[in-house]
Structure 1
Amino acid sequence: MAKENLPDSMRFIMKWEGGLVDDPDDRGGRTNKGVTQKVYDSWRSRSGQPARDVKQIGDEEVQAIYEGNYWTPAGCDLLRRGLDLAQFDTAVNMGTGRAVRILQEAVGAGVDGQFGPSTKSACDACDLGTALIRYTQIREGLYKRFAQAPGQAKFLKGWMNRLNDLRREVGLPGFERGPEEPDFGDTSYIARIPDLPKGSQLERWD
């Protein structure tokens, strides 16, 4: 439940975030090491640096972006081990706003997309195993929903392989074994899903 869990969590994320991707069907857009061009442009602008191609992103920049854009905003440093990784991985792949809403749904908190004291209390009080099962079920339902959109079906196998590897990593029963190398399914990478617009409700997932 602290920042010291970030390095191990980053190792899991980097297992699934490949190199440069520029697929017109990937709604995340041009991406390198899991960082989209849009996110990289915004981060460099806030840092007072000129824009440049995300292909040139450095490892220190990757670390800073993941911590500042996903780990901290999604409340990962406030969560128990296991739930913090699930939240972090979801924030990276599906956006921090959607990740907070999934977390709130999973632990029985009010779903408003804001990680406040009531959400923290619900996370602290929940049964961790039950919450992780619920969390990953919601995420699976969303992947299956998104795969129905035009051009997105080819990403479903990779999305599910990543999710099942997460289930293995956090110790859910039935997922004790998994491949050593990531299986991206029918593509060579895991597609990024744009975050929910601010104030939007979580999509129906069941």
Structure 2
Amino acid sequence: MAFDEAFRRLIGHEGGYTNDRRDPGNWTGGKVGVGILKGTKFGLAANTYPNLDIKNISLAQAKEIYKKDWWDKLGGTGLHSAITFQLWDFSINAGKKRAIQELQQAVGVTADGVIGPKTMEAVNSRDLNDVLLTLTAERLKFYTSLNTWPIWGKGWVNRVADNLKYAARDN
């Protein structure tokens, strides 16, 4: 899958500017009330980009950031593109290390948050649909464990449901 298609899908889940005080990602310190409330736009959050002018970022600038900081750094080269997309989307929503750990748990290897040869071998030796479904299950279990589930859980489930449709098309 090309980055442009992955970005098109992603941006369909990521909205415009928000600065909900309850969202730790909207604060430059990464915790509610810590740092400056700068918000989130196109999924780019103040806790990850504290020096970015979040409110005024353009879609083109967001696309460049996603390519450079997320797509290029994921480490998913060598995985089926359906898995790479799901892992990338999850990493943007929950953090790269967490997404990789959930993938590793899905395939039964040590969950160290790094895609290395053992992870690649384990993922590529399993049935594609089994990996996609198990990764999605791990993603949902992770979301339901968060104390912010009552606030944003419905949105996360809708995102995962859309991504399951993409997985069905991509496999």
Tell whether the structures are fold-level matches, with TM greater than 0.5: yes
Unaligned runs of 5+ in 1: 42-50, 173-206
Residue equivalent to 2:78? 78
Matched, 1:100 2:109: no
Measured after TM superposition, the shift of residue 167 of structure 1 is 0.6
8 Å Cα contact 2:25-2:40 kept in structure 1: yes
Q: Deviations over 1:58-111 (max 9, x none)?
A: 333212221222223322333212101110110110000101101111122221
8 Å Cα contact 1:73-1:96 kept in structure 2: no
How far apart, CA to CA, are the structure 2 residues paired with 1:163 and 1:83?
Answer: 13
Structure in which a larger fraction of residues adopt helix:
2
8 Å Cα contact 1:25-1:152 kept in structure 2: no
8 Å Cα contact 1:74-1:99 kept in structure 2: no
1:157 to 154, 159, 164: 154
Q: Deviations over 1:90-135 (max 9, x none)?
A: 0110000101101111122221111111111222212110001100
Matched, 1:39 2:48: yes
Measured after TM superposition, the shift of residue 152 of structure 1 is 4.1
Unaligned runs of 5+ in 2: 27-38
2:21 to 12, 19, 24: 24
- CA 1:153 to 1:120, structure 2 compared with 1: closer, same or farther past 3 Å? same
8 Å Cα contact 2:25-2:48 kept in structure 1: no
How far apart, CA to CA, are the structure 1 residues paired with 2:149 and 2:143?
Answer: 10
How far apart, CA to CA, are the structure 2 residues paired with 1:129 and 1:152?
Answer: 27
Normalised to the residue count of structure 1, the TM-score between the two structures is 0.70
Matched, 1:112 2:134: no
8 Å Cα contact 2:76-2:115 kept in structure 1: no
Alignment RMSD: 1.8
How far apart, CA to CA, are the structure 1 residues paired with 2:78 and 2:63?
Answer: 19
Residue equivalent to 2:63? 63
